[in-house]
Amino acid sequence: MKPFADLSRFINPRNVAVVGASARESSQGRRLYDNLVLHSSVPGEVYAVNPAYQEIGGRPCWPSISALPEAEIDVALIMINATLVLDALRQCAARGIPFAVVMTSGFSEAGEEGQRLEREIAQLCESTGLHVYGPNCPGFVNVRDRLGMTFSPAFKDDLNAGSIGLATQGGGLGRNLLQGLSFGQGVGLWFSAGNEVDLEIPDFIAHMANDPKISVIALLMEGVKHGRRLTAALELARARNKPVVVLKVGRSEAGVRAAQSHTASVAGTAAVNSAVFRQFGAIEVDDLDQLLAASRLLTRITPKSGNGLCIYTFSGGTAALAADIAGAAGLPMAVFAPETKAALCKLLPDFASMDNPVDTTADILRNPEASAACLRAICADPQVGTVLFPIPMDYGSITDGMAQAIATVAAETDTLIVPVWMSRRLGGGFQLLETAGLLPFLSLSDAIAALSKAIPWKLPAHESAAAPQQMAAAAGKGCMLSEAAAKSLLREAGLPIPEGVVAASAAQAAQEAERLGFPVVMKVVSAQIAHKTEAGGVKLGIASASAARDAYAAIHESVARHRPDATIDGILVERMLPPGGREVLVGVHSDAAFGLVLTFGLGGIFVETIRDVAHRMIPLSRHDARALLGEIRYAEVLDGVRGQAPADLTALEDLILRVSDFAWSHRDALQEMELNPVWVGAEGQGAMPLDALIGLRPGADPALGQRQP
Amino acid sequence: MKPFADLSRFINPRNVAVVGASARESSQGRRLYDNLVLHSSVPGEVYAVNPAYQEIGGRPCWPSISALPEAEIDVALIMINATLVLDALRQCAARGIPFAVVMTSGFSEAGEEGQRLEREIAQLCESTGLHVYGPNCPGFVNVRDRLGMTFSPAFKDDLNAGSIGLATQGGGLGRNLLQGLSFGQGVGLWFSAGNEVDLEIPDFIAHMANDPKISVIALLMEGVKHGRRLTAALELARARNKPVVVLKVGRSEAGVRAAQSHTASVAGTAAVNSAVFRQFGAIEVDDLDQLLAASRLLTRITPKSGNGLCIYTFSGGTAALAADIAGAAGLPMAVFAPETKAALCKLLPDFASMDNPVDTTADILRNPEASAACLRAICADPQVGTVLFPIPMDYGSITDGMAQAIATVAAETDTLIVPVWMSRRLGGGFQLLETAGLLPFLSLSDAIAALSKAIPWKLPAHESAAAPQQMAAAAGKGCMLSEAAAKSLLREAGLPIPEGVVAASAAQAAQEAERLGFPVVMKVVSAQIAHKTEAGGVKLGIASASAARDAYAAIHESVARHRPDATIDGILVERMLPPGGREVLVGVHSDAAFGLVLTFGLGGIFVETIRDVAHRMIPLSRHDARALLGEIRYAEVLDGVRGQAPADLTALEDLILRVSDFAWSHRDALQEMELNPVWVGAEGQGAMPLDALIGLRPGADPALGQRQP
């Protein structure tokens, strides 16, 4: 994996060059140059480069990068025709300029010629160590140090700096976030590297994870280019205790192939992305306003915030509604200390509700001091970590006073106060809360959704499995092993597999069934048949030798009818496991971005309909395996319902880890595998795959280097 | 069921009396009187009643209702001490005043004495025909006719009338909605009847369903008092083609008893409410802003709106994000006609995206005329029913121009244009859209969620089952029938039940098993054991006579150990149905508000964990039964997955209807029943309950009037 770039000289360059600086007013080249010369604080020089000019705005201009005077230039900003870019970059590399920002469009987004140009840029980066940011991007903005390496005319208004670090792909929407963060904690750094030929989202995450002035990382992503670099960067952010909030746009289905097993189609690329974000502790959101809200909340969350939620308002209906929505979201409600209740009793009328949710009643509206005193008493309660303060109506100067009381108390306390301005009349009270940086939400549901995403964020002590290498991409058509062959390989790898024999005749089937003990199951063995049931190739609960003989004939007859193309290699006769076992699925498939991914979930015929599955990147740690068991809805069934004994979770964990190890050690050969159903007995009874499917990449050794079955 | 009240004289009274009118400034009695005299248009007289005054504000005042001059008074407004209210109401009844609004608090919400008073008021209403609105309520506001029968000082600002009819319980939050509906279509009538001793939400719905000036009914409910009146009112609204949007607050768990079967606990009161709203075509929302947004959208929806969605914006990232969210919500995207594309090609630059979603690129920003022309071309496309127009940034005067273009085109077209103002800077463009009544949303997710709730609303041709009678409330402890007794009753009622016999000895069990044919199942018969599996009382897949003998002994032994309290009445031996059947649940329980409710869903051990269930009020029509089958996630499995044949849906429908009929005809005796699992074979194989549980009300005949089993 390519190491993360050290961006310190990029973030705070001493001298910069503007290649394509223009004297023409309102041209992009002029706006870029002006942003640096007039609106930025560059410690050193801003060198203009353009053969068409001797000077721009009274300052000198040079004909080329090579012609620039001796100086340590950290960043070259390039805004010239796409065909000239490569030459300019070569000059940068030759002079030892470490970073170049290519804003010009007309590269891979424009067609084949552009793609070729990009490949040449990538090669130049690799051979010289030059780092390129772009092409086809709006540039980079360092708000906190007043540095606008961008041609955006809006840069001069980007004045509200803060500890939120932002990285976007396809920069347009980043401006929406900057506008939303005009008050309170704003954006410190905004990366938007367009086509990402070299520097990419993981580099920016890694930089921000290490940057002490960034406290929250917000991402707006369109695609995942190098999955393992992304996860490594997310892991770094987690290690540095920096929450990462991500909005993933334009979920590509490119990674979903028409897989032979069902696992890949259930997983899909969007589901895998979400699972990976969860696995690496990133908070995924669905919309831009949620990205903004969760990021802002995370800058305000204190160690106390998670202690418990208090709902505080002056309308009974609002209190009930808020408690309803918070309850549905599973936010824990604080229980007041006796002192808190005593304080409220002194301040509020008798008919107020002094328990959580607090309804002060409208009596308090004309008394902002009492309002502030109540809020202070609640914030002082150690059990109250967060106060949700819905304001249902705009009452003009009355709610202005209420807003002022909130702002005053919020500035004094380490309890998180989250106001919700529910009225569509956004009067003075709303404006006051907004400019005080309190980010008043406009709906209860939105506020509670953001809280429930932001508050649980903490760093669990986590033993992460190392995953240093990236999978080779799958290509062409591989081969599918028969159930018997797959089971044999898995038995070799130490997985528990039901006792069974492949019979070549009805008589042998009957004899082996007698030996194994009734009841048995019988299944067709054929490398061409992935789904045996559909072909009539499976018979369950065979209770006698004569039934075994009948089943042998019936399977042959049915398979010949349904799949005349398939070669029947025999009939597998297996001991049937005791009834009452729970059925789960353990699958592995190869994701285009993240390599091998393990899927665990509800098994049997439910796989595709109920879609109760969870995912983890391979290899898994024991911690991962355990967490996975709890992530499906079916989890309760494993714990035992209706008097049922708990399932053998230890055995299931072992099995999952063995699958992970097996898949990881054969990662170059393995395309996919599916164990479905996996039978899970009660505690102590173990867990066993009843069916197994293994798909190999083209050219892989079907024995995977093990003893041939 | 009590018929709906005719409210025409209440909505538009000629003369009204204000009992408790006060001369004291800023008292509630004065505000109420002033609202009527100064801020309302009452066609006739407003009579003040108060023994303490001769006159109020220069107008005469009478000592009592009885003392009022001869006049046809339609409504008496009562704002006097709770202890005096009953006497005032008696005077109203004696004079033939048809309606009284009691605003006074201190009734059932205040304790036992208040509850007693309310009962007396209810009796007075019943014996005299007087209608009481209240007590403990803010009154009634008829915005469209400028009539404020309320003491709220905010009434004088309730100026924006419209076709939305609003009914709330616990009125405070209603004001939030009125503030939100200050522009565009506003609220025409606002009912808020507090404790609802007589007139209640269903009366208001019924009135608004028949009121030609109301086009959308918005409800904010805290509890359901008379479920069958509510559903009858919802049905009336549907028959009148009026959408009903409902926010249900304070979901009470009072109706959920610790039921012996699992059905009631799965259903819960909130789930039943939601199911009933869905069944009767009401649109349920989760938050106040959604209630407002959906109601407003519904006033703007035209017959064309559902044709297809077009996303139209000037930022590529925004287009992708909006398409993503709309896709996830399942909104159908419009395909442009060739003329539309041709028109866009003429107006937009080459690099714009002229397909849906449309990205005009930022080039169009400085040209509001071109913007309007594009929008016009899109709205003219017959395939485009709704245009979602996200505006990602506030660009000052540029976005002001864009907003003006939207307002202009929206006024010309019957295509629904829904602007989304995504920036948190709510500048002039936002204000322009707001005052134009276009209800700009503030987030893409919210806009799309509201559209996906509002657009599909149409009236399906629906054969509704008549359900005239209300269930008697369950009380005390009833009795539970054994599986064998329950199955016998159901067999009598025409339900298909597996062949079986209750055996009294091991030998008999073996003999009956031989007769039925192997494999068989054996189950303990005991009225005390609801969950046989937990007690070790069930053995499946018994394949021989000796196994049957062993099972007989094992069941006796295990049940004796687990449930020494239970009497064993024998062992039920049943023919086992062929493997591969799908397992569902059909249950019935009694809901406090809606009477008997049928639950259908995924069966077996999944019931409580997967909770894949749907509900219908009993009795069901065939249409209901069919719809029910499609409402669970498991629906796909019934249709057949992985090559499996479709399940016998016709048999399942029949079974559900027979259960509904059985339950309805025994509604006075039946407390609950649960058939779980119900085995459903492939097409033509039928559907049969494998287990059955029937719980009866105290005192009910265990044979339900049928032949004793």
The predicted model gives B113-137 an average pLDDT of 95
Mutation for testing the A interface, residue in B610, B629, B644 having most A CBs under 10 Å: B610
Q: How many CB atoms lie within 10 A of CB B55?
A: 10
Predicted confidence band of residue B286 (pLDDT cuts 50, 70, 90): confident
Q: Which of residues 54-83 of B touch A (CB under 8 A)?
A: none
Nearest to A324 among B220, B251, B426 (CB): B251
User: Is A445 in Cβ contact with B392 (below 8 Å)?
Assistant: no
Q: For residues A167 and A218, give the distance between their C-alpha atoms in angstroms, rounded to a whole number.
A: 6
Q: Is the pLDDT at B82 greater than 50, yes or no?
A: yes
> CB of A394 within 8 Å of any CB in chain B?
yes
Burial class (CB in 10 A: 0-12, 13-18, 19+), A561: exposed
pLDDT of A459 higher than 70: no
What 8-state DSSP symbol labels residue B104? -
Is the pLDDT assigned to residue A693 strictly greater than 70?
A: yes
- Enter the tokens of residue A441: 């939400």
User: Where residue B354 falls among pLDDT bands split at 50, 70, 90?
Assistant: confident
> Tens of pLDDT along A488-498?
889 988 899 99
Which chain B positions have a beta carbon within 8 Å of A637's beta carbon? Answer: 605-606, 609
Q: Among A99-113, A556-570, B445-459, B542-556, whose mean pLDDT is lowest?
A: B445-459
Question: For A425, which of B182, B394, B425 is closest by C-beta distance?
Answer: B182
Write out residues 90-119 of B within 8 Å (CB-CB) of A: none
Of B315, B445, B633, the CB nearest to A610: B633
From the list B320, B541, B609, the residue facing A634 with the nearest CB is B609
Q: What is the reported pLDDT for B261?
A: 38
Which residues on chain A are in Cβ contact (under 8 Å) with B641? 605, 608-609
List, for residues A59-74, the tens digit of each pLDDT value. Answer: 999 999 999 999 999 9
Indicate the average pLDDT of chain A: 87
Structure confidence by residue, pLDDT tens digits, A640-687: 766 678 889 999 999 999 999 999 999 888 988 999 889 998 888 899
Q: Of A328, A223, A326, A220, nearest to A282 (Cα)?
A: A220
- Please indicate whether, in this complex, the C-beta atoms of A637 and B606 are within 8 angstroms of each other: yes
Rounded to an integer, what distance in angstroms lies between the CA atom of residue B272 and that of residue B614? 9
Would the CB atoms of A534 and B320 count as touching at under 8 Å?
no
CA dihedral B262, B264, B267, B270 (to 10 degrees): -140
DSSP annotation of B169 reads S
Token pair 């030059």 is found at A130
Which of A314, A423, A562 should be substituted to probe chain B, the one whose Cβ sees the most B Cβ atoms within 10 Å? A423
A 363-392: CB under 8 A from B: 392
Q: Which of A 622-681 lie inside 8 A of B, CB atoms? A: 633-637, 641-644
Taking residues B454-460, what's their average pLDDT? 62
The CA distance from A4 to A6, in Å, is 7
Strands (E), B270-349: 283-285, 309-313
pLDDT digits (tens, 9 = 90+) for A130-159: 999 999 999 999 999 999 999 988 898 888
Of A251-265, A281-295, B104-118, give the lowest mean pLDDT range: A251-265
Chain B neighbors of A609, CB-CB under 8 A? 633-637, 641
Residue B579 to chain A, least CA–CA distance (Å): 8
Q: Which ranges of A481-615 would DSSP assign to H, the alpha helix?
A: 483-492, 506-516, 545-562, 607-610
SS3 state of residue A479: strand
How far is A172 from A644, CA to CA, in rounded Å? 55
**In chain A, what is the greatest distance between 2 CA atoms, to the nearest angstrom?**
102
Q: Tell me, what's the pLDDT at A328?
A: 81
Q: Looking at beta carbons, which residues of chain B come within 8 Å of A449?
A: none
What is d(CA B7, CA B91) in angstroms, rounded to the nearest whole number?
20
Q: What is the pLDDT of residue A171?
A: 66
CB contact under 8 Å between A642 and B445, yes or no, is: no
Examine the pLDDT at A5 and tell me if it is beyond 60: yes
Q: What is the pLDDT of residues A423-436, one digit of tens each?
A: 988 889 999 999 99
CB proximity A349 to B under 8 Å: no
**Within an 8 Å CB–CB cutoff, is residue B446 touching chain A?**
yes
Would you call B180 an interface residue with chain A, using a CB distance cutoff of 8 Å?
Answer: yes
* Shortest Cα–Cα distance, A330 to chain B (Å): 15
Cross-chain Cβ contact A182/B425 below 8 Å: yes
Residue with tokens 């290899």: A619
A299-308 exposure pattern, b = at least 16 Cβ within 10 A, e = fewer: bbbeebbbbb
State the DSSP H helix or E strand holding residue A143, giving kind and residue range, or none if neither: none
**Mean pLDDT of the A93-111 span:** 92
Whether B256 shows a pLDDT value over 80: the answer reads no
- The region of weakest confidence among A37-41, B53-57, B220-224, B374-378 is B220-224
Is B286 near chain A, with CB under 8 Å? yes
In this complex, which of A289, A317, A541 lies closest to B170 when CB atoms are compared? Answer: A317
Contact A392 B175 (CB under 8 A): yes
Q: Is A606 on the interface with B (CB under 8 A)?
A: yes
Interface of B with A in 541-560 (CB under 8 A): 541, 543-544
Q: Are A604 and B634 in contact (CB under 8 A)?
A: no
Contacts of B535 in chain A (CB under 8 A): 643
Task: Please tell me whether residue B387 adopts helix, strand or coil conformation.
Answer: strand
User: Is the Cβ of A445 closer than 8 Å to some Cβ of chain B?
Assistant: yes
Residue from the list B247, B286, B320 with its beta carbon closest to the beta carbon of A249:
B320
Q: Residues of B with CB below 8 A from A635's CB?
A: 609
The CA distance from B77 to B393, in Å, is 51
Contact A260/B at CB under 8 A: no
> Mean pLDDT across the stretch B687-693?
90
- Provide the CA A655 distance to its chain's centre, in angstroms: 26
CA B140 to chain CA centroid, nearest Å: 24
How far is the alpha carbon of B521 from chain A, nearest alpha carbon, in Å? 13
pLDDT confidence bin for A211, thresholds 50/70/90: very high
**pLDDT confidence band for A702 (50 / 70 / 90):** confident
* A648, amino acid identity: D
Q: Which residue of B has its CA nearest to A582?
A: B605
Work out how many CB contacts closer than 8 A connect A with B.
Answer: 198
Binning pLDDT at 50, 70 and 90, where does residue B457 land? low
Distance from CA of A175 to the nearest CA of B (A): 7
Tokens (6 digits) for B696: 């009866």
> Could you write out the DSSP letters of every residue in A171-215?
THHHHHHHHHTSSSS-EEEEEE-TT-SSS-HHHHHHHHHH-TT--
Q: What share of chain A is helix, strand, coil (3-state, %, to 5)?
A: 40, 20, 40
User: What's the pLDDT score for residue A247?
Assistant: 92
Which structure tokens are listed for B484? 């064998």
Give residue-wise pLDDT tens across range A564-616.
888 888 999 998 887 778 889 999 988 777 778 898 988 876 666 667 788 88
Nearest residue of B to residue A636 by CA position? B609
Strand, helix or coil for residue B621 = coil
3 state DSSP class of B67: coil
CB B316 within 8 A of CB B363: no
Q: Which residues of A touch B325 (CB under 8 A)?
A: 286-287
Q: How far, in Å, are A227, A298, A309, A569 from residue A388 at the CA level?
A: 38, 15, 7, 67
Query: What percent of chain B has pLDDT above 70?
Result: 92
pLDDT grade for A470, boundaries at 50, 70 and 90: very low
What is residue A498's three-state secondary structure? Answer: coil
Residues A499-535 have pLDDT tens digits of 888 999 999 999 999 999 888 999 998 878 877 888 8
Q: Are A283 and A245 in contact (CB under 8 A)?
A: yes
> Would the pLDDT of B606 be above 70?
no
* Rg (chain A; Cα; Å): 31
Give me the residue from A425, A579, A605 closest to B541, CB to CB: A579
Residue A464, pLDDT > 60, answer no
CA-only gyration radius of chain B, Å: 32
Q: Give the pLDDT confidence of A172-183 residue by residue, as tens digits.
A: 788 888 888 888
Of A124-133, B405-414, B698-707, least confident by mean pLDDT is B698-707
**B333 within 8 A of B309, measured Cβ to Cβ:** yes
Query: Which DSSP string corresponds to A623-690?
Result: HHHHHHHHHSTTHHHHH--TTPPPB-HHHHHHHHHHHHHHHHHTTTTEEEEEEEEEEE-BTTS-EEES
Distance from CA of B606 to the nearest CA of A (A): 7
B198 CB near a chain A CB, below 8 Å? no
Two structure tokens written together for A195: 């086509």
Using pLDDT thresholds of 50, 70 and 90, give the confidence band for residue B709: very low
Q: Which of B135, B23, B35 is nearest to B84 (CA)?
A: B135
Q: For residue B459, what pLDDT band results from cuts at 50, 70 and 90?
A: very low
* Residue from B284, B261, B386 nearest B332 by CA: B386
Residue B262's pLDDT band (cuts 50, 70, 90)? very low
Residue A146 pLDDT: 96
CB contact B250 to A (< 8 Å): yes
Q: How far is the C-alpha of A634 from the C-alpha of A613, rounded, in Å?
A: 9
Enter the pTM of the model: 0.80
Question: Which pairing describes strands B386-391 and B479-481: parallel, antiparallel, or unpaired?
Answer: unpaired
